[in-house]
Amino acid sequence: MKLLILGGTADARQLTTTMHQIQPCLELVYSVAGLVRQPQVPATVVSGGFSQFGGLGAYCKNQHINGIVNATHPFSITMGNHAEQACNEVGIEYWRFLRPQWQQKAGDDWRLFGTRTELLRALSSYQRTLLTLGQIGPEDLALLNSNQHVWLRTAVQPAHVLPANVSWIKAIGPFNEASELALLKRHQIQVIASKNSGGSSTEAKLTAARTLNVPVFMLQRPTVTGPAEEQFDVLIDRLQAWAQKPIRPANKGNHNEY
């Protein structure tokens, strides 16, 4: 049996390690964009996407993949759609892991937004902003107030030239509360812009914001079609049960290959 894990997240790395431990005979392939760092996982690593192989579906057929777990970022909708479509075409199993969203706690000051455009426009009344929405393009930058000072924090260098009022902070999580508090105080941040990514890796900024009474402009998650699992242990149980099943032969009436 051969399982492809679409990764790039701490969840995906943990999933890969766990499956290797409990199902050592299961062959694992770990996919990552390769923009930040190469993962140390007990699996064959595929870096740079699947276009180099003729697409995800072609890769699954040629490499005899039996199932795909999509453990990419909760905001990674395009990859998820491609993965689900490829599984349907090839006739293999598909699972989507979505870690639980962050929930507001007592003392939080969250403003919720459905689109990046709405969120960025609403930031114009603040003079000092910490932007943690990932990569931003010229259209996003045009929505910012040129009179405000923005600190953009990403793991990868911005793909576009930043205006003079936007400073780039290169940082890779996980972050802790002490460093986040120091960052907010050092730059006198008045508002944080964030995606509701969930997980513990970047949650410390929310705790720091709560401590300093800094509002958080929270971008809501996009809608995910199809089934998704939020409980890590439940997903592991399902994968373990699947891995123990005998491999069914290919159906001559379709293009499945195993």
- Could you state, in chain order, the average pLDDT of each consecutive group of 10 residues for the chain (258 residues)? 93 96 96 75 92 94 96 89 92 95 97 97 95 94 92 92 95 95 98 96 97 98 86 96 74 40
* E runs forming strands in the chain: 2-6, 27-32, 44-47, 67-70, 93-96, 110-113, 128-132, 149-154, 166-170, 191-195, 216-219
CATH for 2-99+223-243? 3.40.50.720
What token pair was written down for 172?
């890779």
Q: What per-residue confidence (pLDDT) applies to 80?
A: 85
Q: What per-residue confidence (pLDDT) applies to 90?
A: 94
CA distance 185 to 208: 10
Q: Are 158 and 136 in contact (CB under 8 A)?
A: yes
Q: What per-residue confidence (pLDDT) applies to 252?
A: 38
Instruction: Indicate the domain borders of the chain.
Output: 2-99+223-243, 110-219
Q: What per-residue confidence (pLDDT) applies to 37?
A: 65
Beta-carbon contacts of residue 197 (< 8 Å; ≥ 6 apart): 73, 74, 75, 102
Q: Which CATH class is domain 110-219?
A: alpha beta
SS3 111: strand
Q: What per-residue confidence (pLDDT) applies to 258?
A: 30
Q: What per-residue confidence (pLDDT) applies to 247?
A: 63
Identical fold, 2-99+223-243 and 110-219? yes
DSSP H helices, 174-231, are 177-186, 204-212
